Amino acid sequence: MEYNGILKIRDSRKGLTMRNEVIITCNNVKKSYPKGTTYYDISKDFCGDKLIVLVKANNDIRELGDKVSYSQNVEFLDCMSSIGNKIYENGLNYVLEYAFKRVCGNEASIKCEHSADKGLYFSVSGIKLDQSILDNIKNEMNQIIELDIPFVKCNVLRKEAINYFKKNNRPDLVSVLNYISNSYINLYKLDNMYNYFYGKMPYSTGYLRIFDLTLISSFGLVLQYPNQYSTMEIKPYVHHKGVFDTFNAYTSWLTQIGVATSYQLNKIISDSKINDIISINEMFQNNNLLNIAREIASLKEVKIVLIAGPSSSGKTTTSKKLSLYLKGLGFTPHPIGLDDYFLDREECKKDENGNYDFESVNALDLNLFNDHLTRLLNKEKVKIPTYDFIEGKKVYGKRSLQLGDNDILVIEGLHGLNEILTSSIPRKNKYKIYISPLTSLNIDNSNRLRSTDMRLIRRMVRDNRTRGYNSSMTLKSWKSVREGEEKYVFPFQDEADVVFNTSLVYEIGLLKTYVEPLLFAVDNNDPNYYEAIRLLNILRLFLPIPSDNIPKDSILREFIGGSTFE
C-alpha cells in the first residue's frame, strides 16, 4: 500500500562530527563513546535486550535515535516507567494504525477514542470487524514488530505536512495543524507512512512485542499493553460496561453538537461562540445529575447514597449539588464525611516502610462506621465524630444525627464503592455513584486527550489555589495518588449503580489559563520538568477560554475558585 506525496524532510538523525569522545555515566558506570553515537547504540552496552523506549539525559528526555554531543549522566527508561509507558502506547498506536490500513485498505479508518480497562478503545468505520479480521490485524502487527522497523523523526514544513495529509485523506490532522503556528513540525515515518504525534516515539517497532487486541463489537476493538501499575504481563481484558458506555454516550453527544475534536473547539472559540457551548454543556451535565437524583427518589428503600471516584473528579461539588436536587424532590439529605471515621492514630497499622497507610480502607474505623449506619437506619439518634487531625483521634460532642422518613445520607469518599465500607447495610438500601471526568475530546484520530491528564491539570490548579503548592509538588505526588486509585478506586467501578461523567468539553481551554504559568515555572533541573513540558505541549494545541461566564455551581469552580458551594 502506497501513500501519496513526498515530503522534504530535515532528518533529525543526520550525523554529527565523530572527532571527539564523550563520557556516558549510567548506574555509576562510565563508558567512552565517539561524539555522535546514538543512545540506541549506547543502550546495548547498559541494558542488553531490555525493552528500553526512552532515555533521560541530564534530566532531559531524549529518544534513542538522538545522538550524543556531550558527556552526561543517563537513565534508560522502559515501558513500566510513567514516561516510558506513554511512549510505548504511542508506538503501538502507530503500529496498529499501519497494520489496520494494510489489512483493511484506505477506505476504512480507525480512531483512538479513550481508555478501556488497561488499554485503549479504537472505533472503526468503513468496515465491520469480526474475529477473523482482528486476527489478521494482530498478525500484521506482529510481522511489523518482527521486522523491527525504525520510527524516523522528520522535521518538515508545516504547510507541506498539511498538503501531504490532505492527499492521504487525513482531514483530522489537517485541521489540527492549521492551529499550530510553527513553520516546521515533527512527523514520524514508519516504513512508507507519515503520522503526527504530540509525544515522542520508541526507536523501532521491535521494542513493542507485548500487546493484545480484543474485539468489542463490529465497530471497535481494544488495544492492550503493559500497565505501569502492575506487571509486564497483559491480563485478560475486563469490560467495564458502565464506564465504557458513558464514555461512548458522551462522545456521541459531543459529535452531535459539533465539538468532538480540538479543531472544532478551537473553531468555536475563534468564532466567539464558546459561551453557548459552556451553557449547553453545563445544562447537559446538570440534567444527567438531576436524572440520577430522580432515580434515587424512585427507589423507596434507598437511604444511603455513596459517591466515589478518582482524584479531582469533582466529588465535593457533585455531592453538594446532588443533595440540592434531592432536597428539591422532597428529601432531607445529610452529608457524612469518611475522614471523620479514621481510626485513632495509635490504632493505625504501618506499611513496610513504617508509614501510616491512610489511603487504605482499613485506616477507617469500619466497625464504628457500620454500627452508626445501622443505628441511623433504625432511626436511632447517633453522635457523629469529628476527626482531629492534629491530635490524631476522633472527637465527639459537635454533632448528632437522627434520620426521619424522608432523610437520606450522602457519603462521598475514596472507598464509597467498596462493599467492605458498608458491609452491614443491605444492598437495597444503598445507591452507589462512580464519578470521573471521562474526557471524550480528541485531538485527532491518532491522538487522544487523556482523562488522567485532565484530572492532573485540575489538581494542579486546585493545589495551587487552596494549598499554595507549585506544580512540581503536585507532579511529584501524582504517582502515589495514581497508585492509590489503582488499588482502592478502579477495582470497584463495576459496583456502581450509575456512572456520572464530570468532564466538560471546554475545560481544557479554561484550565489552560490557570495552569500554563504554573508549568512554565518548573525549572529545567527539576525531576518533573519533562512532565511539565509534555503537558505544555498538549495545552498549546488549545485556545484559551476566560472564566467570566463559568457558572458559580460548575464543577470547575471546585478547582478555579468562586464556587457557590465553598
Task: DSSP for 188-203, please give it.
Answer: EEETTEEE--SS---S
Q: How far apart are CA 94 and CA 333, in angstroms?
A: 50
pLDDT value at position 429? 97
DSSP 240: -
* Sheet of strand 29-34: strand arrangement: 29-34, 21-26, 72-78, 52-57, 60-62
pLDDT value at position 3? 54
List the domains of the chain with CATH numbers: 9-82 (3.10.20.30), 83-243 (3.30.980.10), 246-334+407-560 (3.40.50)
Q: Are strands 498-501 and 430-436 parallel, antiparallel or unpaired?
A: parallel
* Inter-residue contact 239 to 248 (CB < 8 Å): no
Q: Provide the residue-wise pLDDT of the chain in tens; the chain has 566 residues.
A: 445 555 655 554 444 444 589 999 999 999 999 999 999 999 999 988 788 999 999 888 999 999 999 999 999 999 888 889 999 999 999 999 999 999 999 899 999 999 999 899 999 999 999 999 999 999 999 999 999 999 999 999 999 999 999 999 899 999 989 888 889 999 999 999 999 988 899 999 999 999 999 999 999 999 999 987 777 788 899 999 999 999 999 999 999 999 999 999 999 999 999 999 999 999 999 999 999 999 999 999 999 999 999 999 999 999 999 999 999 999 999 999 898 999 998 888 777 777 777 788 999 999 999 999 999 999 999 999 999 988 889 999 889 999 999 999 999 988 999 999 999 999 999 999 999 999 999 999 999 999 999 999 999 999 999 999 999 999 999 998 999 999 999 999 999 999 999 999 999 999 999 999 999 999 999 999 999 999 999 999 999 999 999 999 999 999 999 999 98
Q: How far apart are CA 91 and CA 95, in angstroms?
A: 6
Q: How far apart are CA 77 and CA 59, in angstroms?
A: 12
- The structure's pTM equals 0.92
* Sheet of strand 9-11: strand arrangement: 9-11, 151-157, 184-190, 193-195
